[in-house]
């Protein structure tokens, strides 16, 4: 990495001015939710490249739709059940007086996306959907510092060869623009090269943020290993049971169209860090977010911002798996147990 580029002080998405993240999880169920919220509504868009997404309110984020800003974004476990985490976040924001004003009413705009973590060794015998409460708890916990790995939306996540998790990373450009990524890694593909030691994202590592082993020195790594995730779940890969969902954010004053392109480019970072990615059996999705409101960003500056966003996402994916910790009932080992 060019010496002119550096991580933010936390190496988290919350290095982007105004952003906060909250996590909540239920260790018995092995699931959780994460929320990204800001001091004020922020510009957002989205791009989906996986074949099996699970989402709420993402149509609003298309560049041609009239809604320009949102109040929060939610990443959650729970498959379709997990979309109810957005309702809990809406409840909390409404209580704060936040939301789109329509006469005397306030309607918080809270898009979200989910991963499938229903077959991961946790109890799934609830009588009442737990995700609304998890969403509200995650919002209440939102702050600048938050846990990675087996936390929030990454609590029950699994990648092909080891536990997945929640990851984040940041990057400051030479002109001071800050980028950050937040991701829940529950991929069909592997984040590590065959043998499970080296991360695909290793060329982008800064310092030893995910172990410092460097790139795999071998070539010809074109054949993936049999997925331990499929074996542990006792099924062949099925549509909807895998997904990597992410947010890439910047403090630059991007338009909604530029936020969409930021999300599109960030998928390059996902493809560099997970092999394979964007399969028909994944719901891979990236939200693009901008908190800046003063000025504009020209094409040359935006090129550098978008490229940095992709690098942040690659690093955040590796950090998610590196930070995962073991828990009772796990069906896959953690990276650092290997």
Q: Tens digits of per-residue pLDDT, 131-187?
A: 999 999 999 999 999 999 999 999 999 999 999 999 999 999 999 999 999 999 999
The whole-model pTM stands at 0.96
Q: Tens digits of per-residue pLDDT, 12-58?
A: 999 999 999 999 999 999 999 999 999 999 999 999 998 889 999 99
- Is 124 a domain residue? yes
- Is 225 a domain residue? yes
Q: Mean pLDDT lowest for which of 129-143, 250-264, 283-297? A: 283-297
> What is the count of structural domains for the chain?
1
- Is 2 a domain residue? no
- Is 4 a domain residue? no
User: The domain spanning residue 300 has which CATH number?
Assistant: 3.60.70.12
DSSP strands (E only) in 240-283: 243-250
Give the pLDDT band of residue 311 (cuts 50, 70, 90): very high
Tokens of 87: 């309702």
Mean pLDDT of the chain: 94
Domain that holds residue 23: 13-337
CB environment 286-311: b (16+ within 10 A), e (fewer): bbbbbbbeeeebeeeebebbbbbbbb
- Is 1 a domain residue? no
- Is 7 a domain residue? no
Other Cβ atoms less than 10 A from the Cβ of 228: the count is 18
Q: Is the pLDDT of residue 320 over 90?
A: yes
pLDDT at position 222 = 83
């Amino acid at each position: 990495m060019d010496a002119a580029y550096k991580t933010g002080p936390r190496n988290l998405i919350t290095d982007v001015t105004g952003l906060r993240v909250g996590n909540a999880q239920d260790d018995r169920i092995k699931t959780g939710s994460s929320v990204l919220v800001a001091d004020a509504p922020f510009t957002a868009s989205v791009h989906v490249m996986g074949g099996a997404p699970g989402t709420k309110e993402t149509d609003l984020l298309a560049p041609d739709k009239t809604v320009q800003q949102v109040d929060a974004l939610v990443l959650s476990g729970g498959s379709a059940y997990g979309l109810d985490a957005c309702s809990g976040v809406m409840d909390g924001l409404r209580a704060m007086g936040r939301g789109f004003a329509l006469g005397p009413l306030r309607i918080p705009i809270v898009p979200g996306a989910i991963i499938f973590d229903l077959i991961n060794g946790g109890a799934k015998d609830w009588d009442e959907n737990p995700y609304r409460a998890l969403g509200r708890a995650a919002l209440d916990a939102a702050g600048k510092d938050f846990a990675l790995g087996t936390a929030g939306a990454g609590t029950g996540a699994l990648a092909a060869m080891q536990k997945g998790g929640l990851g984040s990373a940041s990057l400051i450009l030479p002109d001071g623009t800050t980028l950050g990524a937040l991701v829940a890694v529950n991929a069909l593909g592997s984040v590590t090269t065959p043998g499970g030691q080296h991360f695909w994202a290793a060329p982008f590592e800064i310092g030893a943020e995910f172990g410092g082993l460097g790139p795999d020195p071998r070539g010809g790594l074109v054949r993936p290993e049999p997925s331990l995730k499929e074996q542990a779940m006792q099924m062949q890969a099925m549509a909807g049971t895998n997904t990597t969902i992410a947010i890439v954010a910047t403090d630059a004053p991007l338009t909604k169209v530029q936020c969409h392109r930021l999300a599109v480019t960030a998928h390059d970072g996902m493809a560099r860090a997970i092999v394979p990615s964007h399969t028909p059996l994944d719901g891979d999705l990236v939200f693009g977010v901008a908190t800046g409101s003063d000025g504009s960003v020209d094409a040359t500056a935006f090129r550098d911002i978008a490229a940095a966003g992709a690098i942040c996402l690659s690093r955040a994916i590796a950090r998610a798996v590196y930070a995962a910790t073991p828990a009772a009932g796990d069906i896959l080992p953690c990276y650092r147990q290997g």
